[in-house]
Structure 1
Amino acid sequence: MSSSPPRFDRGHTDDLMTFLADSPTPYHAVANAGERLEKAGFQKLDETAAWDGTSGGKYVIRGGAIIAWYVPEGAGPHTPFRIIGAHTDSPNLRVKPQPDMGAHGWRQVAVETYGGTLLNTWLDRDLGLSGRLTLRDGSHRLVSVDRPLLRVPQLAIHLDRQVNEGLKLDRQRHMQPIWGLGDDVHEGDLIRFVADEAEVPAADVAGWDLMVHALEAPAYLGRDRELLAGPRMDNLLSVHAGVAALGAVSTAGDLEFIPVLAAFDHEENGSESDTGAQGPLLGAVLERSVFARGGGYEDRARSFAGTVCLSSDTGHAVHPNYAERHDPTHHPRAGGGPILKVNVNQRYATDGSGRAVFAAACEKAGVPWQTFVSNNDMPCGTTIGPITAARHGIRTVDIGVAILSMHSARELCAADDPFLLANALVAFLK
C-alpha cells in the first residue's frame, strides 16, 4: 500500500535554483555540496589521512567529484550500501592552455568544446568565466566572473542567407568568444585578469581549469510557473536531490543500509579520469569504509553483494514538436514524476530486479514514476550506471528527471519533478 503523495514544496526547487546559479563548474558544485553536508553534520575527510570506523556523516572531495556517506550506529563491516550516483559536469566551452588570441581588431579567448555541446545555444549569449586556479604551492582557488565578459557572436543573416535552412558550426573557427577590442594579443592577459578576480598574484598561478557559463539566472516559466528553466540541470539537478536526500536520512535513525552520494566528474566525455565513474574513487572510498569498521575482504564482498545504486541522470521528456523522435509507446511527460531508464543493450543498467527496487521506493514515497526507452532508430545515450555496475559488481538502476533541451546552455523541466525525485531518493536510501 502506497503512502500519501508528498505535498509539493517549491522550497526544494527554489533551493535547486540557488544551487544551479552558485555552481557554474564541477568544482563549485562539489564545494557547495560539501558546505550543505557540513551544515547537516557531515565531516570532510582527507584521503591521505587514516580513517576510523566511527558512525556519522563523512565526505571526500577530489577535483570535481564528491563521495559522501553516513554510517549509522551499529553498522557492521559487511553492512550494504545504498548509493545515489550522479555527475557534476555539463557540456560547455573550456579555456585552452594558451587562451589569448584575436583577429581583425577583436580580442578573443581560445576555447575547446567539452562533451556533447549543443553549440548553437551558446551563440549571442552573455557569458561569464569560472573554474579553479592551481597555485604553485599545490593549493586551489575557485573563481567565478559572474558578469558579462564573453560572447560568441553569430554571423548576420545578410552574410549567410541560407542560415535558416541549416546552421553549420565549425567548432574551431566559429566558437571562439570575443572579450574585447585591440590588435595586440599579449600572452598571459586572460590569466592575469582571472588571477586578479581571484585576488591572487598572477605569478603564483601554475595551472587552471576554466570554462564559460551562461549568465541568465534559473527562472520559473509558464502561466502558472509550473516550468523551470536553467543551466546545468544535466546533471546538477540530480546532485542537488542527492545532497538533500542524504542530509534528510542522516537524521532518520534505524537505517538498514549505509546511504551514499557519489557525484562524479567527466561523465559527459566518457568518465575516464581519476574523478570519473571509470576511475577507482568510489571503490576505494567504499572499501576504506569497510576496512575502517574492522572488515576484511570477505566483509567487502558481502557488503558489495547487497549494495544497490540508483544512477540518477536527466532523460528526455517527449518533445511536442518532435514526437516522432521518441518511442511510440513510451512518452515520459514533464510533471509525471521521475523516469526509469531502460535499454536492453546496457546503455542503461536497469533490469527487472532494479525496476522492482525503484518501484518500491516510489511507492513508499507516494511518488508517480514513468519509463523511458529510446526509439529503436535512434542511438541511445548512456550514464554512469553501466560503468558502476561493471566496475564494482554493484546492482545498478538508471533513473532521472525528464527534461527538454538536454545539453543546451539552458534546459527545461517541470518545476515539481526535482522535488518528486528527491522524495523517491529519500525512500530508496531508507
Structure 2
Amino acid sequence: MLAIKSDTFNQSLLDYLQRSMTPFHATANLVEELKQAGFIGLEEGEAWQLEAGGRYYLVRSDASVIAFVLPKKASLAETGLRMVGAHTDSPCLKVKPQPERVKQGYFQLGVEVYGGALLNPWFDRDLSLAGRVSYIDAKGELNHCLVDFQDPIAVVPSLAIHLDREANKERTVNPQLHLPLVLAIAPENSEPKLRELLLEQVRLQDSDAERVLDFDLCCYDTNPPAMIGLQRQFIASARLDNLLSCFVGLQAMLGALEQGDDDQGMLLVCNDHEEVGSVSDSGADGPMLEQLLERLVPEIEPRQRMLANSVMISADNAHGIHPNYSDKHDANHGPLLNAGPVIKINANQRYATNSKTSALFRQLAELEQVPVQAFTVRTDMACGSTIGPLTAARIGVPTLDIGVPTFGMHSIRELAGSEDAYNLFRVLQRFYQG
C-alpha cells in the first residue's frame, strides 16, 4: 500500500517539475493547487478581512508565495505557527536584456549565469525558454504574462575534442564566451529580434498585445523528469533543488488539512532568490514573511507569544554521498539516497538546526516510522547555506534545516531517491498537525 501511495505521489511531483520551468511558473502552479483546496488570494495593497479557520495565500513579485491557515478556535498567540520554508528558484542561464547577436552566420542569445550553476552539463542539451513578459496592449495598458516556448529552440554546442585535446582533463567554461545560445542560422541581411519572438508567444494568450517592453527569461532543458534506474529507485529532473521541497511542503499542509486538523496555525513560505543570497523584496532575507506576520497579529505582545510558540522547518536538498567521490564527505555523515530525510547541521550557523529542533524532527520521524540521517560538511570544506538561518534571524523562531539527499546538486539534471520525497511528506504532514 505504501509503495502505491509513493508512486502516485512521485508522479504528481514529476508533473509539477515538468510544468515549473521558472520560479514564476513554479509559483503559479502552487497557487493553482491552493485555489483548488479552497485558499483565498490576498492582495498586499488591500485591507484584509481574515476569519478564524480561514485558508489564505499571497504572492509577491510573481515568484514567491506564502500560504497560511488560521486556527478555528484558539488564537495564533496560543497555537503559534507550524511553518515550512523552501525556495522557488534554481541555478540556470538567464537571457540578457539585449541578448541578440549574429556571429559566423548564427543567431545567438547572450546569457547570464544565475546562482552557483554547474556549467558543463548545460552543453549539448535541447533547451527552451520560459519566463515572464511585460507588454503594452492595444489600449496602451501595461500587462504581464508567463510564456513558455516549450519546443527545443536552442543549444549550447560543445567544442569537439579534436579542437581541445585536454578537454577531459581541465576544460573550463568562460560564461561570456562559451555559453551564448545558438538558435538558428541567421537570415541574410536581417538580425532576428527576441522581442518579436516573444510578442508571438504573448499573442497566443492576448491577441491585443502590441509591443513587448521587457522580459525575465530562463533557459531550461526540455528533457522531462523521469523515474530511472534498474528498479526505478531514482528521480532524475532539473530543479529538484528546490522545487521538490516546495511541492512536498504544500502536499504536507494539504494532507494535514485533510486529516481534519483545524486548530493549528500552519504556514508555507516559498521564497525566490535563495540561490543568489535571498536579499530582495521577496527573498528570505527580505521583509515578506515578517510583514505578513505583523498583519496577522498587529499587537506586539501577542505576536511575540505567537513567535515563541512557533517552529520553522527549512526544507532544502542535502548532499548525498557520491560513490565516486566519497572522500568529499565526512565519513560519519554521508547521507544515502532512499535512506530517509537528512537533518543538516553546521556549528557556524550556516544551517539553523540545534539539538532541540533536531530532536523534534527525530521524534516526528519516529512517529511516522521514517528513518532519519544527519549531514555536516567536512571540517576542511566550506559549507553552503539555506533560507533557514536568514528566516530564523529575521523573525526569531526556532528553526531547523532538513532535506532529501541529492546527487548533482545545481546541475541541469539532478538525482534524488524515489522514496525520499514521500517520506519527507509524511514527516512534514505530522509536523503540521501540531
Question: Which bin holds the TM-score, normalised by the shorter protein?
Answer: over 0.9
1:215 to 222, 234, 240: 222
Indicate conservation of the 8 Å contact 1:191/1:202, yes or no: no
- Which residue type is aligned with residue 76 of structure 1? S
Q: CA deviation at 1:51?
A: 1.0
Using a 3 Å threshold, how does the CA distance of structure 1 residues 186 and 43 change in structure 2: closer, same or farther?
farther
Which residue is equivalent to 1:162?
Answer: 166
Determine the structure 2 residue equivalent to 1:243.
Answer: 250
Aligned match of 1:152: 156
The Cα shift of 1:237 comes to 0.2
| Residue correspondence of structure 1 range 289-328 to structure 2 within 5 A | 289-291=296-298, 296-328=299-331
Q: Deviations over 1:27-48 (max 9, x none)?
A: 0001000111111111111111
1:286 aligns with 2:289: no
Q: Secondary structure at the match of 2:386?
A: coil
Distance in 2 separating the partners of 1:405 and 1:356: 29
* Root mean square deviation, CA, Å: 1.7
Q: Displacement, 1:7?
A: 7.2
* Corresponding residue number in structure 1 for 2:66: 67
The correspondence of residues 175-194 of structure 1 with structure 2, limited to 5 A, is 175-182=179-186, 189-194=193-198
Deviation at 1:426, TM superposition (A): 0.3
1:170-215 per-residue CA deviation (whole Å, 9 max, x = no partner) reads: 0110011100112768677112102211215664322211010001
Aligned counterparts, 1:238-277, within 5 A = 238-277=245-284
1:14 aligns with 2:11: yes
The structural deviation recorded for 1:163 is 0.5
Deviations 1:132-154 (A, max 9, x none): 11234443200011111010011
Aligned AA for 2:224?
A
Shift of the alpha carbon at 1:6?
8.7
Measured against aligned partners, the alpha-carbon deviations of 1:227-261 in whole angstroms (never above 9, x if no partner) come to 11011000000000011111112233345531111
Residues 26-425 of structure 1: pairs in structure 2 closer than 5 A: 26-54=23-51, 55-62=53-60, 63-78=62-77, 79-136=79-136, 137-182=141-186, 189-199=193-203, 200=206, 203-291=210-298, 296-425=299-428
- For the structure 1 residues 183 and 147, does the alpha-carbon distance in structure 2 shift closer, same or farther, using more than 3 Å as the test? closer
The gaps in structure 1 that reach 5 residues or longer are none
TM-score (norm 1): 0.95
Query: CA separation in 2, counterparts of 1:362 and 1:5?
Result: 16
Is contact 2:70–2:263 with CA below 8 Å preserved after alignment? no
In the alignment, is the contact (CA less than 8 A) between 1:104 and 1:183 conserved in 2? no
Deviations 1:277-322 (A, max 9, x none): 011001111221224xxxx111111111111100000010000000
Distance 2:42 2:191 in 1: 39
Structure 1 residue 5: Cα displacement: 8.2
Number of equivalences: 423
- Map Cα deviations across residues 360-400 of structure 1 (whole Å, 9 max, x no partner): 22122221110011111211110000000111111110000
Amino acid at match of 2:392: A
What is the rounded CA distance, in whole Å, between the counterparts of 1:181 and 1:129 in structure 2?
18
Q: Distance in 2 between matches of 1:75 and 1:52?
A: 18
Question: CA contact under 8 A between 1:27 and 1:142: conserved in structure 2?
Answer: yes
Percent of residue pairs identical: 41
Letter matched to residue 86 of structure 1:
A
Moved more, 204-213 or 342-351: 204-213
Which amino acid in structure 2 is aligned with residue 366 of structure 1? Q
In the alignment, the residues of structure 2 paired with residue 94 and residue 423 of structure 1 have an alpha-carbon distance, to the nearest angstrom, of 35
**Letter in structure 2 aligned against 1:351:** N
The 1:6–1:226 alpha-carbon spacing in structure 2 relative to 1, beyond 3 Å, is closer
